[in-house]
A and B are shown apart, each in its own frame.
Chain A
Amino acid sequence: MKVRRFYDIFRLRLRSLLGKTAVESELDRELRFHFDQLVQENIARGMPPTEARHAAMRMIGGLAQIQEECRDMRRTNQLETIWNDLKYAVRILSRTPGFTAVIVLTLALSIGANSAIFSVIEGVLLRPLPFAHPERIVRIFLTSDTYPKFPLNPNDFRDFRSRNRTFDSLAAITRQDVQLSGAGEPVMLRAFEVTAGYFRVLGFTPARGREFTTTDELPEHGRLAILSDRFWHARFAADRNIVGRSITLNAVPFTVVGVMPPGVQHPGNDYHAVPDGDTVDVWYPFTFEGSPNNRGSHFMDGIGRLKPGVTPEQGNADLSGVLNQLGNEHPGDKGWHIYLVPLFREMVGRTQRMLFVLLGAVGLLLLIACVNAANLLLARSSVRQREIAVRSALGASRTRIVRQLLTESLLIALAGAALGTLLALGGVRALVFLLPPGFPRAAEIHLNLVVFGFTLLIALLTGLLFGLVPALAAARTDIQQSLREGGRASTGSQRQVRVRDVLVVGETGLACVLLIAAGLMLHSFVNLLRADPGFRPQQVLTASISLPRQQYHDGPQRSRFYAQLIDSVASLPGVRSAGMGTDLPWTGYDENTGFDVEGRSAAANDNNSARYHAASPDYFHALGVTLLHGRFFTASDDAKATKVLIVNEAMARRYWPGADAVGKRITFEDHPKEKDWVRVVGVLGDVKDQADSLAGHPAFWWPLAQAPFPDVSVAIRAQGDPVLLTDQLRTAVKRLDPGLAVADVRLMKQIADASVATQRFSLFLVGLFAALALVLATIGMYGVISYSVSQRMHEFGMRMALGAKPGDLMRLILGQGVKRALAGAAIGLLCAAALARLLGNLLYGVSGADPVTFFAVAVLAIATAAIACYLPARRAAGADPMHSLRTE
């Protein structure tokens, strides 16, 4: 019924507006019918026809007035007014196309920027995660004094799974890429070992086949695979009979038991991280092997779905209880605490600050554009004073005039929003392209209805905001004065001039805030690039190789392969040095182990921990890591030689403070014999943990020949362009083993660049917005100064006639601009100083009150103000005084 009523009302309003003639003639006919009835009644009472008509006419009274009232009731008039206002606004605005274009363009740029940034925020932060009831999913980590966020141990996980009371389901995953061979080139697949029920945690069910069960977790049962929809299409042409078929992974047959539906997303993981999204090719069951009492090795990412109504805190408390029990049963589990993170925070939490900084930046930009538009409209409204005075003299009420002027500003804002949306269409695509690698949910960012709604909303708000001040100011115009001043360019009331001054000072201030944010980020970025990372990423080619355990089951086999490969690559022309290691800097590698330092008490050794790596002799040369003391590994540090290791400076300083670490010994055994002691032979300069971390993490290296891990990274330092060595590396590997895939071929420089991508991305955008803000502020300043100069030409003429030099006038006018810029800059610097803290980790090696940046921005603000004033000042100085005096 309600709906019906609103439909009726809508239909009638529309008819009143569009079918105006029909409605009018109906009204006519209706009233005429009434009139005729009156006449007839009068005749029936015995009046002669003519008199009857006259009496009826008297009775019905002002016919026109009734009609007008009916029209009012139909809201026709209101709609018509709006329509007329719009038509008038279009006419007025198209009379000054340059002026209109400047406002519309500046608004379009800032509204477009807002839409684009908002679409990122909408896609990443506002939209629910692509899992069923995502608010119940949590990630599970361990935490300790030394390790804030640590992966789980598989046996601990199994106990969590069986003893918890707050989870619907609990799973653990660990990345273990596999090599697919068979038809065609061998390829490395993104693969995860997962425990039973992993997909149930996320809320997915296989499109074909089944999920893994706990039986699949038993040794020798786990040679099963579930394929992603994308991989099933790409590699198996969406073969409907794939379930039950066998594929070869790591040279071993695996049976496909399921295919996931499209839209299944990896939730992201921490250990050997793979970005979230459709990023995984294959899942296979995790196998629980070895002693269930092994609680030392941690390599699994835990994830769980809480029971409905259970809070993450309750889940945390529940698992902490289990962990306490485990601590009593297994000494290795002591010292750890549960660290539960809601999936949403884990996936997108780290982007929040950057996105809000960007939103703040575009918000400021929009505010500046508003102030700018208000300023320009004010300038124009003083030109239009006469028109407005005439209209109010003819009876237009103040509200009527305010409404007319607001219609104009809303029209401008909507035009800006329309154009801005077009800009945002391109802008969003560019944004997604520029996003730092691994940015969560990047695939979900696009313009949609929510973003369009947001754009419309800010357009309306903007229109009201920048239209209100000029409209109110204009409506306050003193009619008499404006009309009396007649054709003379009216001076604009003193109040208006002051309002415009305030606006331009505010605009400069806001622009300074943005400029300072950009400046601080630029300074940080320069610091980042200048900071010594501890290695030299230039001219290094990297790749990763994984030796299948089935073919290379023992250490000597792997060592032999590595030695052969290094030999053949190192002898290639153009190669300076070639090395291999477990990992490369800044790739997220984080494997740690405990150990005992010789000569320290058992208690002191309890919490020892350092990151472990293995490296071939030339690995450090190839990456350009410096040696501080002792020696690098040599070819003679092989399996038969005494065990040695190299530590970094952070480890040397922590465990042998004030002493030379070279020659000291550590052990990994609880009851070491003489041969179990490993001697430190060298100390390396620290490699920073991440591009933006201030120090290195304690770490040591085994010789790769003494610790031949099956997964290695290759680093080759070239004499010339390292890219040219790619094919030769592939050929070298193929010659040794045609079944091996060479994966992740990248330049070390790319890895290094990627690690500062977040900073670069936000610097680029904030810098862009700040530049726009500066342009807007300059336009505003130019508008104000140029207007004031045109108003004072008479005065200047007088001054010149009285002996002022052109230079004096220049100085006077420039002084005006600089004074305003100084005031603006002062306000801006104060605000920026208060706000700089919000930039947080986007800054590096720079304090929020960085004097260099603040000084540079102040100078920039004053310099651009001077530039903005220059043209008007020259006009004033160059004018012929006689001419100026005569025109007034």
Chain B
Amino acid sequence: MSKRSDLIQGTLDLLILNTISLEPQHGWAIAKRIQQVSNEVLQVSQGALYPALHRLEQQGWIRAEWRVTEAGRDAKFYSMTKAGRTQLQKELAQWERLSNAVGQVIRMLPEAAS
């Protein structure tokens, strides 16, 4: 297995929601896309991806349907629900707050130490 950077708890949901917010995707494509966009830094394992997809579906944030891929195969595509869109906004805002806060702490600390 390739090296993987652990995702902070809960950020996987954010990444999945964000990825499918543009267009419906199947699980494989979601994993690939996250990998590509993050320059191979973020690796989503299948063992984490599928349970997360099913959980999000159960919570009503995303909806699943079977469609035919460009290659002509049946695949389960996930798309955003209205509720999911609101949820994404919430999670994005929360992420912004969190990363800003972390960034600030990291920037401040060396000065405080010196």
| Residues of A that sit less than 8 Å from B by CB | 1-2, 4-6, 8-9, 12-13, 26, 29-31, 33-34, 36-37, 58-62, 65-66, 69-70, 72-75
Contact = CB atoms under 8 A, between A and B. Distances in A.
B74 A33 contact: yes
A73 B54 contact: yes
List 5 tightest A-B contacts by C-beta distance, closest first. A5-B60, A73-B54, A69-B51, A73-B55, A5-B83
A26 B76 contact: yes
Nearest to A65: B47
A6 B61 CA distance: 11
A1 B80 CA distance: 13
Contact of A60 (B26, B46, B81): B46
B60 A6 contact: yes
Task: Give the interface residue-count category, chain B.
Answer: 20 to 34
11 contacts: A4-B82, A9-B59, A12-B57, A30-B50, A31-B46, A31-B50, A34-B27, A61-B47, A66-B50, A69-B50, A70-B54
A34 B28 CA distance: 6
A9 to B, nearest CB: 5
Given A30-B27, A34-B28, A60-B46, 14 more contacts: A5-B81, A5-B83, A9-B59, A12-B58, A12-B60, A13-B58, A26-B66, A31-B50, A37-B28, A58-B1, A59-B46, A69-B47, A70-B51, A73-B51
Nearest to A38: B28
Contact of A9 (B52, B58, B82): B58
B51 A66 contact: yes
Contact of A29 (B57, B74, B86): B74
A2 B83 contact: yes
B58 A73 contact: yes
Contacts of B86: 1
A113 B82 CA distance: 49
Given A4-B83, A29-B76, A34 B46 contact: yes
A61 B54 CA distance: 18
Contacts of A8: 60, 63, 81
Contacts of B28: 33-34, 37
B98 interface: no
A654 B86 CA distance: 84
A73 B58 CA distance: 7
A225 B88 CA distance: 71
A766 B47 CA distance: 64
Interface of B: 1, 26-28, 45-47, 50-52, 54-55, 57-60, 63, 66, 73-76, 81-83, 86
Nearest to A71: B54
Given A4-B82, A5-B83, A8-B81, A72 B51 contact: yes
Question: Which of A1, A58, A62, A75 is the most central at the interface, judged by chain B CB atoms within 10 Å of its CB?
Answer: A1
Given A33-B76, A60-B46, A75 B58 contact: yes
A62 B66 CA distance: 24
A107 to B, nearest CB: 36
A74 B27 contact: no
B58 A74 contact: yes
Contact of B82 (A1, A29, A30, A66): A1
B9 to A, nearest CB: 15
Question: Which of B51, B55, B81 is the most central at the interface, judged by chain A CB atoms within 10 Å of its CB?
Answer: B51
A61 B48 CA distance: 11
Nearest to A8: B60
Nearest to A2: B83
A30 B76 contact: yes
Nearest to A68: B51
A35 to B, nearest CB: 9
Contacts of A61: 1, 45-47
A738 B46 CA distance: 100
Contacts of A9: 58-60
Contacts of A60: 46
A2 B66 CA distance: 25
Nearest to A36: B73
A26 B82 CA distance: 24
Contact of A70 (B50, B63, B74, B83): B50
B75 to A, nearest CB: 5
Contacts of A70: 50-51, 54
Nearest to B62: A8
Contacts of B76: 26, 29-30, 33
A221 to B, nearest CB: 69
Question: Which of A13, A33, A59 is the most central at the interface, judged by chain B CB atoms within 10 Å of its CB?
Answer: A33
Contacts of B52: 73
